[in-house]
Amino acid sequence: MSVGFLFFETSAFDLFNSKIKRYRTSINSIYIFNWGNKKIMLVAQQLGQWAEQTALKLLKEQNYEWVASNYHSRRGEVDLIVKRGNELIFVEVKARGQGNYGQACEMVTLSKQKKIIKTAMRFLQRYPSYQDFYCRFDVICFDFPQKIAKTVQQDFSKFHYDLQWIENAFTLD
């Protein structure tokens, strides 16, 4: 398996007395653990990447234009930034499988909303050409009613899922 590593650290987490290693890439953390002779990568990061790609495809089908993905600042991260006309939309994407508590949209807490807003403000400071745009905060959620096996290279599009797109999910107020 080849992954571009920024740094490596050993996690204190122990699953069935196996050694777990945490690799942080520029996109996500990937947890790999040994299960007998097999190496298994936890599915959360793959599910998140699939959800972001699918959400972007949905937005493009609705005539939104991609501006940025996974925009980071000291204050947090915005999954997707898109625009249409004079609107700039900051999109948080969430995906949850069965066995997780609550629905995906419920995971966008007040604390997370504040981080997204602060990151959006930093984006607008860094890219002043967007400062005159009307800004909106949307949430796109994918809920999978079935349990998802923790194997490498899942094709999540083959699973049934519920999609929820909440426009103006939260505001600056």
* C-alpha 149 chain-centroid distance: 19
In the predicted model, what is the mean pLDDT of residues 45-64? 89
Assign 29 to helix, strand or coil.
strand
Give the pLDDT mean for 1-11.
31
Q: Distance between CA atoms of 28 and 89, rounded to whole angstroms?
A: 23
Whether the pLDDT of residue 147 is over 80: the answer is no
- Give the range among 57-61, 112-116, 142-146 with minimum mean pLDDT: 142-146
Assign 43 a pLDDT band (cuts: 50, 70, 90): low
Residue 83: pLDDT band (50, 70, 90) is: very high
pLDDT cut 70: percent of the chain above it: 61
**DSSP notation for 71-110:** EEETTEEEEEEEEETTEEEEEEEEEE-TTSSS-GGGG--H
pLDDT at residue 46, as a whole number: 74
pLDDT (0 to 100) of residue 11: 33
Which of the four pLDDT bands, split at 50, 70 and 90, describes residue 95? confident
Q: Where are the domains of the chain?
A: 7-41, 44-170
**Token duo for residue 1:** 């398996």
pLDDT at 77 over 80: yes
CATH architecture of 44-170: 3-Layer(aba) Sandwich (3.40)
pLDDT at 143 over 60: yes
Can you give the pLDDT at residue 129?
97
Query: How confident is residue 3, by pLDDT bands cut at 50, 70 and 90?
Result: very low
Q: Give the residue from 107, 91, 90, 87 showing the smallest Cα distance to 44.
A: 107
Q: For the purposes of burial, counting CB atoms within 10 Å of the CB of 137, is it exposed (0-12), middle (13-18) or buried (19 or more)? A: buried
Bridge partners of residue 88, in order along the sequence:
83, 135
Residue 51: per-residue pLDDT: 86
